[in-house]
Amino acid sequence: METNVIWRNARAAVIELDDGGYFTCADTWEIFVNDEPAGTTNTVETYVDGLIPGKRNLVRFVCGERELSVGVTTPAEPFTINVRDCGAKGDAEHDDTTNIQAAIMACPKGGRVLIPAGSYRIKSLFLKSNINIELAEGAVLLARHDRAALAYIPGTVTGDEGAGYAGTDMLPLGRWEGESFSTYCSTFTGLSVHDVCIYGRGAIDGQTDFAEDNWWNKDFKNIFRPEEGREVARPRMIFLSECENVSMAGFTVRNSPAWNIHPILCEHIDALCLSIEGPKNSHNTDGFDPESCGFVRILGCQFSVGDDCIAIK
């Protein structure tokens, strides 16, 4: 039996216990991080946290008299910005969008945005390059579904001839099912960002249901905005367009308005030990849909959704 470090950052790692299984191991193993108990696992890929930045950490797996160990040397992490220091309340009532976005924008290169335990009511958050965002255990991002309060991005924008996408004067931004389409901003939206990590034991909850004013009602495909004479596609939970080196590890995504995680035209994307959930009768709640992407890894994830678990487009 072998142990392999699949992924790591300054405070967490995904470790593979290769005993020939596909998802679960034959046995259950106790986990110790730097000799401190850290739970148990019976899965081939295991998310482990509590690592110390800038140090060689020892992770041990013990089953009876058998023991496996692996060293995980973590990169340094220069700074942490706690979203509560930017005014986020985490009380499920205050709209914490601007406060969390301020923490993201203020975070130095290579730093961490910490979202501690609490329930954070938000609209849409935008990613930037070279940061880590930790959803700590007990932290839940509660997405608002009152559409009048939500921003959306156009399907295409125009500029100088030849300065846009593929030699044209148009740049596609919003996407829906392979086409440029005006789209509500997702809970996390990443446009042309790189070296980003979202990780932790927390959750992102779309708060979607079948109520008339929510996303899974009878008009679930797209939402018409009569004041502008256009349709606007539903948001995803995480939407990434033309991004590179983005990793997502450990957390739960649930009750998405549409596809849960949707990278398009991205390179080197990791989805590791995620739990992606939605009712079995929820509309179009695909789990993970990589579209025109390269070098994508989906390992150790659990899916229980109302549509495709993984759909490669």
Sketch the domain layout of the chain as residue ranges: 2-73, 80-304
pLDDT: which is higher, 226 or 195: 195
Query: What pLDDT score does 196 carry?
Result: 98
pLDDT, averaged across the chain: 92
216 confidence band (pLDDT: 50, 70, 90): confident
The mean pLDDT of 172-178, rounded to a whole number, is: 83
Fold assignment, 2-73: Immunoglobulin-like (2.60.40)
Q: Which of 43-57, 108-122, 214-228, 277-291 has the lowest mean pLDDT?
A: 214-228
Query: What pLDDT score does 188 carry?
Result: 97
Phi first, then psi: give them for residue 29, nearest 5 degrees: -120, 140
| Rg, the chain, Cα only | 20
Averaging pLDDT over each range in 179-183, 207-211, 250-254, 281-285, which range is the top one? 250-254
For residue 25, what are its two tokens?
């191991």
pLDDT: which is higher, 104 or 18: 104
Q: Which of 42-46, 75-79, 123-127, 180-184 has the lowest mean pLDDT?
A: 180-184
Q: Judge if 2-73 and 80-304 fold alike in CATH terms.
A: no
What's the rounded Cα separation, in Å, for the pair 150 and 136?
A: 25
Q: For the segment 121-147, what is each residue's pLDDT rounded down to a tens digit?
A: 999 999 999 999 999 999 999 999 888
Is 149 strand, coil or helix?
helix
Query: What pLDDT score does 224 carry?
Result: 56
Is 210 strand, coil or helix?
coil
Domain spanning 80-304, CATH architecture = 3 Solenoid (2.160)
pLDDT: which is higher, 51 or 158: 51
Burial of 194 (0-12, 13-18, 19+ CB in 10 A): middle
Q: Which of 163-177, 214-228, 253-267 has the lowest mean pLDDT?
A: 214-228
Query: What pLDDT score does 170 carry?
Result: 76
2 confidence band (pLDDT: 50, 70, 90): confident
209 CB-near residues (< 8 Å, 6+ apart): 216, 255
